[in-house]
Amino acid sequence: MKPEQLIDELKKRLGTERFNYSYNRKDNKLRLDHKTLHRGMDVIIPDILAKYKERKELALEDVVYTIEQTFNAMEMEEKNTPFNLENIYPVIRSTSFPLKSKEGHAFITTDHTAETRIYYALDLETTYRLIDESMLSKLNVSADQIREAARFSVRKLSTIVKKDEVAGNIFYFVNENDGYDASRILNDSFLKRMREEIEGDMTVSVPHQDVLIIGDIRNETGYDVLAQMTMHYFSIGRVPITSLSFVYEKGELTPIFILAKNRIKKEPEDK
């Protein structure tokens, strides 16, 4: 598929009633501007084409979904939809994720590991909006209250896992597709409960926001399987986080590099 074909397909699926489109050939970006909100977003065409090459129709569905939900959130914000602390959840992002919104407002964040950072989101049912400092006055709460509400909310999320065995190693998957699968890494009681069931080394992986993988690694082959698995999920995720995994020991997460059959550990980071 060529850039022009992709742009035509996006216009067809998203329609022209809500958006004006402009294509910057030099930067290979498609700009969408909402006609009534007078706000917009840029779509990086090469990134979508790369995903389309691997995932075809699913890649197009993902980008259309992301665009629609982003603008839906903007519309709900414009309508001054009531805020509720019970609708605040933590979300995990890579440390390379922006610290400020496009409007220049700093997001509310908390350090997590060397690879990940915690952001906070207002759940809007079909989507969510990351909370920045400009929203605190609307919520009439402090940043610490946001963090506390999110810690409580993550404990309410389902922790049902699906189990798979590969080469004598057990892998557990949380994949509810509610936008907060990776957030379960912050549920300490859930991790401790899983640690009690696991016989080998316990690993935790958040390759993208819509999956949490817990490994019961019982032999060296398990680390090779884990590395391939996390890289695959990282490459196909709507919101990639990190292809590295963590060893969970004594309540601490330690990022690890997996090279061939050897494990090269980094020093533990404060959570």
Q: What is the DSSP secondary-structure string of 10-63?
A: HHHHH-SSSEEEEEETTTTEEEEEETTT--EEEEEHHHHHHHHHHHTHHHHHHH
Query: Do 47 and 138 fall into the same domain?
Result: no
Query: Do 120 and 183 fall into the same domain?
Result: no
Query: Do 119 and 103 fall into the same domain?
Result: yes
Final residue belonging to a domain, choices 156, 181, 216: 156
Q: Is residue 35 part of a domain?
A: yes
Q: Is residue 271 part of a domain?
A: no
Q: Which domain holds residue 172?
A: 162-265
Query: Do 166 and 251 fall into the same domain?
Result: yes
pLDDT over threshold 50, residue 265:
no
Q: Is residue 190 part of a domain?
A: yes
Average pLDDT estimate for 241-250: 94
Average pLDDT estimate for 189-210: 96
Distance CA 118, CA 197 (A): 27
Distance CA 203, CA 211 (A): 14
Query: Do 104 and 23 fall into the same domain?
Result: no
pLDDT over threshold 80, residue 11:
yes
Q: Is residue 270 part of a domain?
A: no
Amino acid at 137: S
Query: Do 187 and 120 fall into the same domain?
Result: no
Indicate the pLDDT class of residue 258, thresholds 50, 70 and 90. Answer: low
Final residue belonging to a domain, choices 138, 156, 174: 156
**Distance (Å) of CA 43 to CA 1, 8, 33, 51, 211:** 16, 13, 11, 13, 24
DSSP classification of residue 207: S
Residues in the chain: 271
pLDDT over threshold 90, residue 154:
yes
Q: Is residue 113 part of a domain?
A: yes
Query: Do 252 and 182 fall into the same domain?
Result: yes
- For the chain, how many structural domains are there in total? 3
**What's the token pair of residue 32?**
């969408």
Indicate the pLDDT class of residue 264, thresholds 50, 70 and 90. Answer: very low
Indicate the pLDDT class of residue 270, thresholds 50, 70 and 90. Answer: very low
Query: Which pLDDT belongs to residue 115?
Result: 94
Average pLDDT estimate for 31-43: 88
Query: Do 126 and 169 fall into the same domain?
Result: no
Instruction: Answer positive or negative: Cα dihedral of 86, 92, 93, 99.
Output: positive
Q: Is residue 229 part of a domain?
A: yes
Query: Do 192 and 99 fall into the same domain?
Result: no
Lowest mean pLDDT among 16-20, 42-46, 64-68: 64-68
The percentage of residues in the chain with a pLDDT greater than 90, rounded to a whole number, is: 56
Q: Is residue 9 part of a domain?
A: yes
pTM of the model: 0.74
Per-residue burial over 89-115, b if 16 or more Cβ lie within 10 Å, else e, is bbbbbeeebeeebeeeeebbbbebbbb
pLDDT digits (tens, 9 = 90+) for 72-117: 777 766 665 556 788 899 999 999 999 988 778 899 999 999 999 9
Average pLDDT estimate for 40-52: 88
